[in-house]
């Protein structure tokens, strides 16, 4: 049983808390760290001890073995380093850091202390991506030739103080939104993938092309748009002998010379998010698998080399 300290009670902190409620056989949140009276009231309403500092929480709850950091992005580096110094394993929301150098230092600190650091890169844990990765690995339809990712959202003016729109605090689209697709791309293609060209770059809307050493082309469109559009996260993979499509509702393979095949995507637990993402099983799958990784029941979904490389590609894309 993991005893969790949840650090951060913004949108993602509350998403994590809601999903831990379905993981009571594996993990329990025993205390939270926040900063406002609203945070305190929310925590007390949930029956959780409230603190404004991680060290104070640990001093009062020595049973805590894991700190889940869901604070704003620019605080991740300092928060992770403090959590590691307190001798606890760490889960950290994306982006792990706002630079590849920071992420590398965080992993070195964790290794030096014999602790685990796992970034909460939710797309790696989705059922849809698992089907794609398995298809790539099996090679049934030949080599992956091209992969296209699209991730679009309404401009996130809802963040407290609009910190998401401040480059120094969020890294903007390449680090906050696009990082999901960059990470999936690296998971599929490995650390040989490089930025080929930014086809369109700007503060809030990017089109970029990447290529790996085998010649596979990856195209990513990601943006916060000045329109009240529904959240969209889709992809299309072109193999030598098939096309595989995730249209946001279903995953279908269109094999060469054969009828299309719809693949089953079933989430056993679906939880409301309270953010600009519809109710989903993504975060349950993410936290369920991360707890298993921490306890040695599953191999890590991502390596430090992959995470650092993805952040380096985000840096290259941002320019």
Cα gap 206→318, rounded to integer Å = 9
Task: Supply the pLDDT for residue 278.
Answer: 81
pLDDT band at residue 277 using 50, 70 and 90 as cut-offs: confident
CATH number of 2-120: 3.40.50.720
Three-class DSSP category at 154: strand
Domain ranges of the chain: 2-120, 123-318
Q: Each residue of 216-267: pLDDT tens digit?
A: 999 999 999 999 999 999 999 999 999 999 999 999 999 999 999 999 999 9
Of 126, 122, 133, 127, which is closest to residue 244 (Cα–Cα)? 133
Task: Record the tokens describing residue 117, joined without a space.
Answer: 């650091």
Answer yes or no: pTM beyond 0.75. Answer: yes
3-class secondary-structure state, position 68: strand
| Contacts with 222 (C-beta within 8 Å, 6 or more apart), sequence order | 149, 150, 151, 152, 173, 174, 177, 178, 181, 205, 206
Peptide bond into 95 cis (omega under 30): yes
Residue 312 to residues 108, 168, 200, 209, Cα–Cα distance (Å):
17, 16, 19, 15
CATH class of 123-318: alpha beta
pLDDT tens across 114-152, in order?
999 999 999 999 999 999 999 999 999 999 999 999 999
Same fold, 2-120 and 123-318: no
| Terminal Cα-to-Cα distance of the chain (whole angstroms) | 43
Q: How far apart are CA 66 and CA 102, in angstroms?
A: 21
Only one residue has tokens 């889960």, namely 91
Contact 53, 60 (CB under 8 A): no
Positive or negative, the CA dihedral 48, 71, 286, 58 is: negative
């Amino acid at each position: 049983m993991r005893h969790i300290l949840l650090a951060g009670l913004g949108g993602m902190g509350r998403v994590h808390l809601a999903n831990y409620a379905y993981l009571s056989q594996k993990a329990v949140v025993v205390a939270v760290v926040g900063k406002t009276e609203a945070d305190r009231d929310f925590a007390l309403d949930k029956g959780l001890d409230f603190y404004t500092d991680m060290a104070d929480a640990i001093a009062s709850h020595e049973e805590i073995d894991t700190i889940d950091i869901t604070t704003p992005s620019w605080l991740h580096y300092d928060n992770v380093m403090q959590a590691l110094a307190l001798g606890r394993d760490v889960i950290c929301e994306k982006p792990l850091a706002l630079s590849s150098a920071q992420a590398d230092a965080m992993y070195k600190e964790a290794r030096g202390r014999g602790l685990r650091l796992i970034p909460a890169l939710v797309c790696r844990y989705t059922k849809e991506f698992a089907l794609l990765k398995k298809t790539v690995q099996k090679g049934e339809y030949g080599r992956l030739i091209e992969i296209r990712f699209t991730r679009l959202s309404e401009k996130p003016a809802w963040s407290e103080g609009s910190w998401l729109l401040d480059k120094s605090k969020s890294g903007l689209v390449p680090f906050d939104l696009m990082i999901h697709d960059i990470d999936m791309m690296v998971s599929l293609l490995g650390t040989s993938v490089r930025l080929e060209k930014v086809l369109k770059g700007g503060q809030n809307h990017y089109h970029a092309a990447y290529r790996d050493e085998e010649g596979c082309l990856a195209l990513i469109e990601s943006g916060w748009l000045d329109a009240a559009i529904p959240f969209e996260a889709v992809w299309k993979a072109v193999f030598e002998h098939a096309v595989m499509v995730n249209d946001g509702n279903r995953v279908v393979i269109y094999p060469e010379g054969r009828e299309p095949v719809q693949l089953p995507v079933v989430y056993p637990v679906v939880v409301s998010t309270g953010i600009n993402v519809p109710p989903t099983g993504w975060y349950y799958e993410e936290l369920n698998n991360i707890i298993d990784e921490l306890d040695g029941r599953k191999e890590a979904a991502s390596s430090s080399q992959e995470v650092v490389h993805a952040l380096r590609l985000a840096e290259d894309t941002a320019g």
